[in-house]
Structure 1
Amino acid sequence: MTDATLPAPSTPPGTLLLLVRHGETPTTGTVLPGRAPGLHLSDRGRAQAERVAERLAGLRVDGIYSSPLERTCETAQPAAAGTGLEVNKNAGLIECDFGDWTGAALAELAGLPQWQTVQHTPSAFRFPNGESFAQMQARMVGTLEALCTAHAGGVVVCFSHADPIKAAVAHALGIHLDLFQRIAISPGSVSAISYVEGQAPAVLMVNSSLEPLSGLRAS
């Protein structure tokens, strides 16, 4: 057999990962809610959740996963209903553990000297009695890689929170954690990452809130 007749090497199947931030809540933008229970979507947040489900129309989804907190599960429900899939709660997608800062007003936190570290060198920061940004990123990335392995070649939709999604996107882009605060992840937005075994991930879309998702394909 000559080189010209050798079969082309097979390409591993790509997995399309969609990262969805939960919809708005009554405290979005004013409070650091963290993992405190009992926070639900606002009317606007529920409308954003419905919009995510509409955008998924025409896309064959293989799995839907959510942080176990109420606001993310509620955001995932319309997508689950539209695809006929169940929402699988996954603790790896949960919000960062803000420790003693949980429930604090953002305006008050912004006046603390540690806030500058959070914004400019987050890799060096750990929330008092909580999680570090580095731990959060490692947890989130490991969870996403495991889900991609479980659904190789498919489409996985993960409902999570702003900081974990920003950290995952930063990792996929190959940028340092200290720069992850430059990434904007709005309520109800979708970010898309393509994972192919043996290759660096490809970021296809970040913080998108408008166009249909049916045309997305893993690269």
Structure 2
Amino acid sequence: MCWWGSRDGNDRREAVALSPPPTRLILVRHGATPTTGKILPGRAVGLHLADYGHRQAAAVADQLPARFGAITALLTSPLERAQETAQPLSERLGMTPKIEPRLVECDFGEWTGASLAKLYRKPAWRELMMQAGNFRFPGGESLREVLDRMLDLVSDLRTHHKSETIVGFTHADPIKILTTEALGMHIDQMHRISVATASMTAFVISEVGINLDSLNTGSLIGGSPA
């Protein structure tokens, strides 16, 4: 007998109907900077949005509330480019973003500030592209450590922000890595995912895990991955 034709099936449907709405996490990649697509800035301080990036941030503030409804909290990476991307939405909503260290960019160690054109020629770059799960940036963070801190954040949000919609301003790699987890992909495949500057990626967090709701949306005036 099919479960939906049984009393047990009715119980299951009632349980689903009584379950609280899931928590939603909207991750926004920061807007474009003068070095986007040219260098690997990592956690270097003092990198600000380009004029174009500020226009992208304003577009996010225009689009995001209409797309995702009521927002209950704003989080941001400690880096300037993420905080500046959050500012227009913060002003629109009258909410102060909380600095969330787990949203910070990956620590690229010795590669911080390096030219991407030069990095592309390194044998280690191919390893990064093909075996991201085993890769640690020289003197920096491993990509699995990025996944661990993002999952730790998701766990906290599930516990402390049940049925709320949270927006976090962050960087490309944390978004890519969490997306692979939500899709059940291996972390080695993270570079198959494109995350444009000022794009929005939405996750649904429930008691059974994290699911991808939408990827790389918005950013109507464009953006380039880095």
The CA deviation string for residues 113-147 of structure 1, in whole angstroms up to 9 with x for no partner, is 00001111011110111000111111122113312
Q: Does residue 14 of structure 2 align to residue 8 of structure 1?
A: yes
Q: Does residue 194 of structure 2 align to residue 194 of structure 1?
A: no
Q: Contact 2:60–2:219 at 8 Å: present in 1 too?
A: no
Instruction: Name which of 101, 124, 133 aligns with 1:114.
Output: 124
Counterpart in 1 of 2:134?
124
Counterpart in 1 of 2:3?
none
Query: How far 1:151 moved relative to its partner?
Result: 1.3
| Residue-pair matches, total | 208
Alpha-carbon separation, structure 2, partners of 1:19 and 1:117: 27
Instruction: Name which of 155, 159, 164 aligns with 1:149.
Output: 159
Counterpart in 2 of 1:36?
44
Counterpart in 2 of 1:217?
none
Task: Give secondary structure in 2 for the equivalent of 1:8.
Answer: helix
TM-score (norm. length: structure 2): 0.88
Task: Give secondary structure in 1 for the equivalent of 2:152.
Answer: helix
Task: Give secondary structure in 1 for the equivalent of 2:47.
Answer: coil
The CA deviation string for residues 26-78 of structure 1, in whole angstroms up to 9 with x for no partner, is 00000000000000000110011011110123421001000000000000011
Runs of 4+ in 1 over 3 A off after TM superposition: 3-7
Alpha-carbon separation, structure 2, partners of 1:31 and 1:118: 16
Alpha-carbon separation, structure 1, partners of 2:155 and 2:115: 33
Task: Give secondary structure in 1 for the equivalent of 2:156.
Answer: helix
Q: Does residue 214 of structure 2 align to residue 205 of structure 1?
A: yes
What letter corresponds to residue 30 of structure 2 in structure 1?
A: H
Map 1:1-219 onto structure 2 (within 5 A).
8-9=14-15, 10-58=18-66, 59-197=69-207, 199-209=208-218
TM-score (norm. length: structure 1): 0.90
Alpha-carbon separation, structure 1, partners of 2:201 and 2:176: 9
Q: Which runs of 5+ in 2 are unaligned?
A: 1-6, 221-226
Query: How far 1:210 moved relative to its partner?
Result: 5.2
Alpha-carbon separation, structure 2, partners of 1:210 and 1:94: 21
Q: Which runs of 5+ in 1 are unaligned?
A: 212-219
Alpha-carbon separation, structure 1, partners of 2:48 and 2:219: 23
Q: Contact 2:71–2:167 at 8 Å: present in 1 too?
A: yes
Alpha-carbon separation, structure 2, partners of 1:20 and 1:63: 13
Query: 1:53–1:123: structure 2 CA closer, same or farther, 3 Å change rule?
Result: same
Q: Contact 2:57–2:88 at 8 Å: present in 1 too?
A: yes
What letter corresponds to residue 91 of structure 2 in structure 1?
A: A
Query: How far 1:195 moved relative to its partner?
Result: 1.0
Alpha-carbon separation, structure 2, partners of 1:81 and 1:150: 24
Q: What is the RMSD computed on CA atoms of the aligned residues?
A: 1.7
Q: Contact 1:172–1:203 at 8 Å: present in 2 too?
A: yes
Task: Give secondary structure in 2 for the equivalent of 1:64.
Answer: strand
